Amino acid sequence: MTTLALPFARPPEAVLIEPFVRRALEEDVGAGDITSALIVPPDKTVSARLVPRKHGTIAGLIAAECAFRLIAADAAFRCGLPDGSVASEGSVIATIEGPARAILIAERVALNFVGHLSGIATATSALVDTVKGTKARIVDTRKTTPGLRLLEKYAVRCGGGFNHRFGLHDAVLIKDNHIAVAGSLAEAVCRARAGTAHMPKIEVEADTLVQLEEALSLGVYTILLDNMRLEDLRRAVGMANGRAVLEASGNVTLATVRAIAETGVDYISSGAITHSAPNLDVALDF
Amino acid sequence: MTTLALPFARPPEAVLIEPFVRRALEEDVGAGDITSALIVPPDKTVSARLVPRKHGTIAGLIAAECAFRLIAADAAFRCGLPDGSVASEGSVIATIEGPARAILIAERVALNFVGHLSGIATATSALVDTVKGTKARIVDTRKTTPGLRLLEKYAVRCGGGFNHRFGLHDAVLIKDNHIAVAGSLAEAVCRARAGTAHMPKIEVEADTLVQLEEALSLGVYTILLDNMRLEDLRRAVGMANGRAVLEASGNVTLATVRAIAETGVDYISSGAITHSAPNLDVALDF
Amino acid sequence: MTTLALPFARPPEAVLIEPFVRRALEEDVGAGDITSALIVPPDKTVSARLVPRKHGTIAGLIAAECAFRLIAADAAFRCGLPDGSVASEGSVIATIEGPARAILIAERVALNFVGHLSGIATATSALVDTVKGTKARIVDTRKTTPGLRLLEKYAVRCGGGFNHRFGLHDAVLIKDNHIAVAGSLAEAVCRARAGTAHMPKIEVEADTLVQLEEALSLGVYTILLDNMRLEDLRRAVGMANGRAVLEASGNVTLATVRAIAETGVDYISSGAITHSAPNLDVALDF
Amino acid sequence: MTTLALPFARPPEAVLIEPFVRRALEEDVGAGDITSALIVPPDKTVSARLVPRKHGTIAGLIAAECAFRLIAADAAFRCGLPDGSVASEGSVIATIEGPARAILIAERVALNFVGHLSGIATATSALVDTVKGTKARIVDTRKTTPGLRLLEKYAVRCGGGFNHRFGLHDAVLIKDNHIAVAGSLAEAVCRARAGTAHMPKIEVEADTLVQLEEALSLGVYTILLDNMRLEDLRRAVGMANGRAVLEASGNVTLATVRAIAETGVDYISSGAITHSAPNLDVALDF
Amino acid sequence: MTTLALPFARPPEAVLIEPFVRRALEEDVGAGDITSALIVPPDKTVSARLVPRKHGTIAGLIAAECAFRLIAADAAFRCGLPDGSVASEGSVIATIEGPARAILIAERVALNFVGHLSGIATATSALVDTVKGTKARIVDTRKTTPGLRLLEKYAVRCGGGFNHRFGLHDAVLIKDNHIAVAGSLAEAVCRARAGTAHMPKIEVEADTLVQLEEALSLGVYTILLDNMRLEDLRRAVGMANGRAVLEASGNVTLATVRAIAETGVDYISSGAITHSAPNLDVALDF
Amino acid sequence: MTTLALPFARPPEAVLIEPFVRRALEEDVGAGDITSALIVPPDKTVSARLVPRKHGTIAGLIAAECAFRLIAADAAFRCGLPDGSVASEGSVIATIEGPARAILIAERVALNFVGHLSGIATATSALVDTVKGTKARIVDTRKTTPGLRLLEKYAVRCGGGFNHRFGLHDAVLIKDNHIAVAGSLAEAVCRARAGTAHMPKIEVEADTLVQLEEALSLGVYTILLDNMRLEDLRRAVGMANGRAVLEASGNVTLATVRAIAETGVDYISSGAITHSAPNLDVALDF
């Protein structure tokens, strides 16, 4: 087994990744791979390479390794690159040697993880690269594929992005519906502060500069500027003037992200990097 | 509770969908929604509508309903359209009435399911519509998001597509690696037939017309033509001449699929409809 | 650890067998084996042999191995024979060496798996041997012990039998109830073909020769002849004349199976091999 | 929903049966029942009856009810007889009314539970009936189908039998291996008494009258007489003379059980009632 | 079913509490309650009251309700007080009416939850009451009973306490070991800021005033003062002078907490409220 | 890996402890340890010692070992003492060497297990030591922390205590409610004997000497004397005079337990040792 340690991307612990991989193997292999079991002799060994068919940022080798290990404890998986690396089309990102049958069985699950997560990492790093030179950081959202958030947020980190909150439990985010129910932003913030201690952050969504002003006057330190025009974002940065951390969201694409970043906001959040990233095509070549 | 029965799309049984939804709720809600719990009074009720922001084919309302029911047994969820329907931008595809706090808690999970699965249904129906008038049917692959295959294959059916095998266990698919190991296609087919009874289908992958010829001569009834040029596909259809069912795969896009269909093949398989379909943007409007 | 690879029987992957064994250990061992823990010193080692008390076909050593491994990682389990082998009364089918306490703890679970699965393999191979020389193959059904289908279908393969479908999801089987609801066999077949792609087989149950005739005229390729008299089975074979694969079911016993096979049918299915096979008595001798 | 309360048989709590039924449904239904979904209209309702094809003792209706309820919450299941009743061939033991599709989907799982558990109940009650008039009670063993012990021990109770211990954790049973390791029975009993409080019973296995004598002299109150001849069993009863409860095991069949009971032993244990009971054939008639 | 909604305590969603209760029922009830099943007739109904034997703060009625509901869907559970209320010895905190057998079965599990969680709530509110009038808030830690954190943190809220982070994943806490590894606090903080976005808080542990000074100079906003003497705590408050939120930990008892609070710190964290709170004795009176 | 085998305490099998530890790791580590991942280099190794801050009886090293092994397979955990040993303040009870990051991640879970279970063992051994010289044994109850019974009953054994029944399934305990429902103790005992075989013990609760007399006259062998005064306990011992095993419960504290033991009862049961034992403070020193 090769250590996949990548300081910055912070892979989840292997023991916590395993349940995801087991579930995927149960779903794909089930009662067994009829084809390989019937055609491939048990003692046939093979050596294969994971090769992206397109240039991209790699994530999920750690899950691929787990899939091969669970099916064939004695197969030797070696990463050519750690998760989070950029790989060019046709390069070898990992090799696997061992029983042919087992490798054929785990192949699709391994590739599905690597393809899906590398797709997210690649989409993220495209945004990250585009805003390079500004101070803006790309962050994800809770718009992830149901059941895969832990891995998808890891893929965002592999792509150079940062993680917003993991769920409803670990931070407060006051949106328009909450404000409407509370009667005013002041009342909503007051309730949130009354019920939380010092660890969960409180972020407030502002759709207009008037709302931003109100949030700033309440001493709110983290503010989400939702769907604001570039001009308003720029003014918002001026109004905050360092008193608050500003996150911009809404209509974030490769075409728009640079201009958004140049307004001076601190964070730009994108749901698309997790929910709409196309798969990175990776194949297992024998 | 509204019945979501859609004859053609065949939703998985509700009892089997529930574990997917529970897992997603655990992941997103965890120790609880701090924001709503602190700001929204428990007796506040609300009425909301699921509204797509773009035109598309809807799938996953059955999971959304489950999410709202698990969090708020007394909320009333009503489908405006069954899964598998085409909805226009801004139309109401479902309504939910009940406790505001519970609806805010389940909102994101419900939307993540509907957005992800409707994205797949929409991508599928785009291909299906494009080949209309030909006899070709669009089928999926095993290139699905790990852990979500059951739901994603359902979304493909909602989009008018058909399902290829569900895993390695329910059909034989002999690919180039198997042939190489067996020494010849004849030997591989022979081993597969020797080890299976009458229920699992045996499909053979052919990359060239020579291989197709060999498969036909062995009486193989289901043949996957992988990455063939249009001209070869046309010839393949002529060679098979009804003796075999032909599936085309490789380089299937909205731009290419019509021409592939017009070669006369029976099935066209696409991994992209499951692994690279962008999310359909659906919102919950209060 | 000894590899248990048996080409023909196709054992399920070890990682997928493990959950069955863990569940059985939790059920039997629970809070611990009071007796052995109190009486057997932890450093006492022992060597034992798995010995059938009756002649039979062995299946499930792969689960026994897993049970011993999970309880005592350092015990050495060695198969004398692979699953699927015929063992005579008193022969040694496996040996286990290691800590006495652990071996006593895992003993019953290991034996329950081997006894149950070998019972199924033995019942299957009795039918298989009886039809030897005819072309008929013995297949199983969905009449399996709830929760153990994956392992029981493996035991059938160990006994030389073949697997029918694994569940309701992987093949179509049109029975009398479906025909009644649809109004006619033609309509039922039409609906099934309209909703499935090329991979799931469509089998039709025929209780009479008239129904068989109708199925053949619709081009149905796989037909289940249910509870037909021998004479009708013979006629059915003549009528089909190679145009369809014929499976006979109903009243299949050691006494009747040879005659059924000699009618010329291709497959004979038996629920009794899974739901009524007596345990094969296997003991652990120290 | 019908209450299935049967005082004597003591069904396990419904909430604890549910996981067994969910597992069985996942295994059998998986991605859905293709056949019924395609052929049976969603609004078609049906009424059906569970009818044994043979005379027997019924067990498992409680699991059947659960299967139908999980698949179709609105189907109406009614027991004609409580679990533990004797039913004659062709009698109606339960009825189910509701959506045809759902009933067809849950049918096989429901029947597999009822058939398997009624088989055990029937085999048990055959022994129970045969010893009627003696004081001997029939008890089960730990030789159960892996993963189903809770339900199988319930089926034994439905058949009028009694339960031996549930696992290695809830009672001490000192066998020959333990005695050998400890050096003597006296030492083994001493260690067991030293390590347990007043609740777990301590049973000792005796293969000979000499061993019985030793156990009695140690004040052991529960003794298992393993594989003794009838004559020795009779002598054992005389020797114990009420000072100990005696359980006979080994070679217990319908042919031998009466004679064993007439020796005067208190309990007769049988592994065959759980591990080798043939299925009771029960069908769902529409 | 009674709604248990308590605005401030924020109970976890019922669907997420259920798995805890199911696990406890499996553990306690297992194969069934022999005693009640044999002695209590199934149609016997009963009415009972949950009554604390000591004055205390109640938490966990929400889990008790779940236990009774899972065992007896038709039992009527009514809370006399919401979780988080103070109850005097002998008062009725909830009533339950329904089948006697079911209520006896669920009794111990229900009481174990209420006793354990009320113990935590009571210990918490003792600290909370003691610091009343100061600005200090009581917070919990990660020193919780393994597997019960979600519920125990809820019990802390019921007692008027606040929650520190839920796990290693939702906030940064830099302790002495991290500083030692990084070489300096400055380097450690720099690495933490480089790798996180705006949502997770960064807290630094300071054992001395020198370390506090360093943290303040780095602009760290949340600082844990570990095991400082009262005098140093007072000085720390002066040094921070509102520039940072200060949490005191170490040697927090009923005897010391008031004095700690009066130093002017913002938060006081206690492991004992979760890991060492004695059970609150609550009984079910019939 | 170090073997932790302690003859008398009988640790549960490692494979059955693992699910408890995995659950605790999921709860604490979740998406990963942000702090360590960002600050501690992956190749940094460390050596640390588990050191109790107070004198106590150790239990749970077996779970700590599992936590470290699951997070860092290559870390070397060595027990200085087996579970069940008495350790003095500041002594080294175990050492761990390996990757710093992994050890920091598993630290809290490991300590939470050791602290909680050692707390129980220490509370138990305090009672055990106090009754030394009498024949009374200390036993636990079903008043355990929900979901942790298996481990907590093990901790009781580590402290020199004994286990009462594990749940409702493995022994009969007839309490006042059962007697009231049955109409009389005689009837309740009769029903219990009618429905159980020889393995589950039948214990009867007696609140008065009159009830004790009745139980003795019915030949009940195991009797729980609940909340009796010392004088009555003494008389009870005289009345039973060896004909029954007597267990005393109610108001058992360090102050009262010696006097209770000196009345001559056989067992003294305490809920407090499991539900109210304060944590034993154990730290990981680097």
F226 is catalytic: yes
Pair (E154, E102) in one structural domain: no
DSSP C13: P
Residues B244-268 have pLDDT tens digits of 999 999 999 999 999 999 999 999 9
Instruction: Return the bridge partners of F284, or none.
Output: F50
* Separation CA F221–CA F192 (nearest Å): 13
Pair (A144, A156) in one structural domain: yes
What pLDDT, on the 0 to 100 scale, is given for residue C7? 53
User: For A271, which residue in chain B has the nearest alpha carbon?
Assistant: B279
Pair (B142, B44) in one structural domain: no
Whether B77 is covered by a domain: the verdict is: yes
C235 is catalytic: no
Whether F29 is covered by a domain: the verdict is: yes
Closest Cα in chain C, distance from residue B273 (Å): 16
- Write down the residue that tokens 């045996």 correspond to: B202
Whether A82 is covered by a domain: the verdict is: yes
* Separation CA D92–CA D285 (nearest Å): 10
Question: Do the beta carbons of residue A164 and residue A140 sit within 8 Å?
Answer: yes
Pair (A62, A175) in one structural domain: no
Whether A1 is covered by a domain: the verdict is: no
Q: Which of D21, D168, D191, D205 would best serve as a mutation to test chain C binding (most C beta carbons within 10 A)?
A: D168
Whether C216 is covered by a domain: the verdict is: yes
* Separation CA A28–CA B169 (nearest Å): 8
Q: Is the pLDDT reported for residue A6 higher than 90?
A: no
* Separation CA E171–CA D216 (nearest Å): 65
Q: How far is CA E138 from CA E119, E124, E150, E154, in A?
A: 16, 8, 17, 14
Residues C95-123 have pLDDT tens digits of 999 999 999 999 999 999 999 999 999 99
DSSP string, B160-221: T-B---SSTTS-EEE-HHHHHHHSSHHHHHHHHHHH--SSS-EEEEESSHHHHHHHHHTT--
Question: Do the beta carbons of residue E170 and residue E200 sit within 8 Å?
Answer: yes
Q: Is the pLDDT reported for residue B7 higher than 80?
A: no
pLDDT band at C138 (very low <50, low <70, confident <90, very high): very high
Pair (D112, D136) in one structural domain: no
Of A50-54, C125-129, D72-76, least confident by mean pLDDT is D72-76
pLDDT band at A10 (very low <50, low <70, confident <90, very high): confident
Average pLDDT, chain E: 95
* Separation CA F38–CA F40 (nearest Å): 6
* Separation CA D29–CA C20 (nearest Å): 19
Closest Cα in chain C, distance from residue D40 (Å): 6
What pLDDT, on the 0 to 100 scale, is given for residue E8? 64
Helices then strands, counting H and E runs in chain B, come out as: 11, 12
Chain D residues touching B170 at Cβ < 8 A: none
The segments of chain F whose pLDDT lies below 70 read: 1-8
C-alpha F260: how far from its chain's center? 21
Q: How far is CA D231 from CA B108, D239, D266, E165, F101, in A?
A: 75, 12, 16, 72, 69
Q: How far is CA C6 from CA A73, B173, C16, C84, E5, in A?
A: 18, 21, 17, 7, 59
Question: Do the beta carbons of residue E106 and residue E68 sit within 8 Å?
Answer: yes
For residue B118, give the nearest of B194, B52, B198 by alpha carbon: B52
Percent of chain B with pLDDT over 70: 97
* Separation CA F201–CA F204 (nearest Å): 10
Residues B44-87 have pLDDT tens digits of 999 999 999 999 999 999 999 999 999 988 899 999 999 999 99
Pair (B87, B136) in one structural domain: no
Pair (B122, B149) in one structural domain: no
Chain D residues touching C112 at Cβ < 8 A: 142-146, 275
D201 and F196 within 8 Å at the Cβ level: the answer is no
User: For B221, which residue in chain C has the nearest alpha carbon?
Assistant: C198
Most distant CA atoms of chain D, gap in Å:
73
Chain B residues touching D42 at Cβ < 8 A: 3, 5, 7
Strand order in the sheet with D45-52: D76-79, D94-99, D45-52, D282-285
Q: Is the pLDDT reported for residue C202 higher than 70?
A: yes
Residue A49's contacts (CB-CB under 8 Å, 6 or more residues apart) are: A92, A94, A95, A96, A284, A285
Burial class (CB in 10 A: 0-12, 13-18, 19+), D135: exposed
Token digits of residue D229: 């001849």
Instruction: Return the bridge partners of E233, or none.
Output: none
Question: Do the beta carbons of residue E59 and residue E79 sit within 8 Å?
Answer: no
- Structural domain count, chain E: 2
* Separation CA E271–CA E251 (nearest Å): 10
Whether D80 is covered by a domain: the verdict is: yes
Token digits of residue D269: 């244990």
Token digits of residue A22: 């087991």
C26 is catalytic: no
Q: What is the CATH number of the domain that holds C67?
A: 3.90.1170.20
Rg from Cα positions in chain F: 22
What pLDDT, on the 0 to 100 scale, is given for residue C5? 40
Subunits next to D (3 or more Cβ pairs <8 Å) are B, C, E, F
A197 and E171 within 8 Å at the Cβ level: the answer is no
> Can you point out the beta strands (E) in chain E?
45-52, 56-57, 76-79, 86-87, 94-99, 137-139, 172-174, 202-206, 222-226, 245-249, 267-269, 282-285
What pLDDT, on the 0 to 100 scale, is given for residue E268? 98
Whether E1 is covered by a domain: the verdict is: no
Of A202-216, D104-118, E29-43, E258-272, least confident by mean pLDDT is E29-43
Question: Do the beta carbons of residue E172 and residue E190 sit within 8 Å?
Answer: no
Instruction: Return the bridge partners of A283, or none.
Output: A51
Pair (A124, A152) in one structural domain: no
Whether C115 is covered by a domain: the verdict is: yes
Pair (F185, F60) in one structural domain: no
For residue D97, give the nearest of D170, D44, D37 by alpha carbon: D44
Average pLDDT, chain C: 95
Q: Which residues of F touch A (CB under 8 A)?
A: 22, 25-26, 29-32, 34, 37-38, 41-43, 70-71, 102, 105
Residues C237-284 have pLDDT tens digits of 999 999 999 999 999 999 999 999 999 999 999 999 999 999 999 999
Count the neighbouring beta carbons within 10 Å of the beta carbon of residue D199: 24
Pair (F223, F251) in one structural domain: yes
The segments of chain D whose pLDDT lies below 50 read: 1-6
Residue F49's contacts (CB-CB under 8 Å, 6 or more residues apart) are: F92, F94, F95, F96, F284, F285
Pair (D116, D167) in one structural domain: no
Q: Which residues of C touch B (CB under 8 A)?
A: 8, 10, 137, 139, 162-166, 169-171, 195-201, 203, 222, 245, 247, 266-267
Chain F residues touching E36 at Cβ < 8 A: 168, 178
Count the neighbouring beta carbons within 10 Å of the beta carbon of residue C35: 28
Strand order in the sheet with E202-206: E137-139, E267-269, E245-249, E222-226, E202-206, E172-174
Percent of chain B with pLDDT over 90: 93
Produce one character per residue of B74-95: b if its CB has 16 or more CB atoms within 10 Å, e if not.
ebebebbbbbbbbbeeebebbb
C-alpha D122: how far from its chain's center? 10
Q: What is the CATH number of the domain that holds A160?
A: 3.20.20.70
- Write down the residue that tokens 């490789």 correspond to: B250
Pair (A136, A255) in one structural domain: yes
Mean pLDDT of A148-172: 96
B31 and E5 within 8 Å at the Cβ level: the answer is no
A143 is catalytic: yes
Host domain of residue B53: 7-128+278-285
